[in-house]
Amino acid sequence: MRVAFDLDNTLIRSAHPFALETPRLGWLARLLGHEQLRRGTKALMRHCQQQGWEVWVYTTSYRSSGYIRRLFGLHGIRLAGVVNQTRHERTVTARCSKHPPTFGIDVLVDDSEGVRLEGERHGFRVLVVRPEDEEWVETVQRKLLQPV
């Protein structure tokens, strides 16, 4: 299975304050000016990879693929793929903000109810995770293991 995660307000703090991970090389992350990931991200990504699933990022931001890979790498997370807004605009023909099936993504974890509605309309699976959900890792793990 291929699982993708949104960034802003899902894994990266934006409008909603949530607890943050400590990067393995904190001094290097600060030096490079990288953003911090939501607490629990490392454990969730490890869980997904232990299941044999590919972990991707799918974001509507224009952050470069290299930046996103470095950000996760500083936390010891290797991503199988990255879709940013530039790649989305180049590749996707469906009229929606995100279209995971174009990239072979089976499920998208996102904070947006609007993306969930697009998923219903365009036939792709979206798990909505609330920024204020302190048990978000368990919520996502439980939902990922549920049959479709």
pLDDT digits (tens, 9 = 90+) for 54-99: 999 999 999 999 999 988 988 889 999 999 999 999 999 999 999 9
Residue whose structure tokens are 């290097």: 28
Specify the number of domains making up the chain. 1
* Cα→Cα distances 97→100, 115, 142, Å: 10, 7, 26
The enclosing domain of 109 has a CATH number of 3.40.50.1000
The residues, ordered by sequence, that sit 6+ positions from 144 with a Cβ below 8 Å of its Cβ are: 1, 3, 48, 107, 127
- Cα–Cα dist 125/104, whole Å: 12
Which domain range does residue 121 map to?
2-145
Q: Region 44-54: what's the mean pLDDT?
A: 96
β pairing state of 2-5 and 54-58: parallel
Mean of pLDDT values over 107-117: 97
